[in-house]
Chain A
Amino acid sequence: MSSVRIVHEPADKVRDIYTWSKSAKAEVKKILAKYPKDQSRSAVIPLLHLAQREFDGWLPTKLMNLVAETLDMPYIRVYEVATFYTMFNLAPVGKYHVQVCTNCACMIRGSDKILEAVEKLTGAKAGESSADEMFTVSEVECLGACVNAPMMQVNDHYYTDLDAESAKEVLTALKEGKTPKVGSQVKEAS
């Protein structure tokens, strides 16, 4: 188990020290206030999300340890949660994590073409990152936007009602540092 983890953790991508910033500390406090005082373990998923968001978009062991120490939990309890849930990245990801849904509703409405367009534009196949580390591409399970299929999620946001062209436009905009419109990509009828 531990050896597998180390293989996935390229040394040059792991920071020397992980500590919460001042704003993150305030966020931790806010999260802990949601749960009974003796149930701080409930905060482990929110804290792993926070950790991933604060530091590079993935969870090296050292960072999971920070979460464990913050919640006074055994390390293994944090590792088993982090490895169970697919949203926690156990290896480095690109600046933009492009997750293309290929489940039934999206497949029927052409997710093959979306994935193909995404792979072509980023130069990364599903499960890989682009050479410039800008994009990581994943094929994911149903993201629950089936009446707006096909769709993809990039980092926190949904881009729905896609076709190959609009999917490429979204990613090109992100690549150029722009902020594409979140949500439906259907052009408003003029």
Chain B
Amino acid sequence: MITQLANLGARSIFFIEEVGRVAYFGGQILVAAAKRPIRARRFVDEVFRLGVLSLIIICVCGLAVGAVLGLQGYNTLERFGATDSLGTVVGLSLIRELGPVLTALLTTGRAGSATTAEIGTMAATEQLDGLRMMSINPIHYVVMPKAFAMVFVMPLLSALFIVCGIAGGYLVGVFWGIDPGSYMTGLESAVTFQDDILGSFLKSLIFGILVGLISTYRGYSSEPTSAGVSAATTTTVVEASVVILIFDYFITALWGV
């Protein structure tokens, strides 16, 4: 009984320490970002790898999710004879919820895991130590461009996801015989810039920060063994997914997005 209690206490302390370490790591990234050189070339390379190479998965998934929403929405709305609201249903659920969240989850799996694995392997093969020997701060050279690229691409990918989703819902809706005009009109009249678009943007920005921070931290602090790197990659995907969904609830509750 006492040992279990001690166990719980130790776990709690470890959790709080871990949160502190992640926050400290984030602070280090910010401090590094203030220093020259700004590593623009590294940043663009990372935007290519995290953003451009995620385009296909984002667009395909966006289309598929939009099409499913269109189908489900159509079947449900048909019972109430309100199929003209399909545009509103698809658009609002994509913009407010599914766009940012699914993009963040997909990016975690596609790019976050790769980031962790890459940094972890660099640590395991002593490349980070090599950089330190050349008096290059690895946080400045390796971590910072990756973290910032993640924050940068997340809202962009989310916007593309939403547009693809709206197109997917449109295709299905029109196929089932909804008037294309009423789909778009419902969409335009229901969506507002202040509440929906800005809120969606805010969400994906916060998710970008979370995924960028977690994936780089896990890679940087991974054990320098192959098992350690693989464990760190798993942890990134699990932690980031859970944190995204939890934060999603609180952002929605606090800002009413």
Partners in one complex: no
Which A residues fall within an 8 A CB radius of B?
none
Which B residues fall within an 8 A CB radius of A?
none
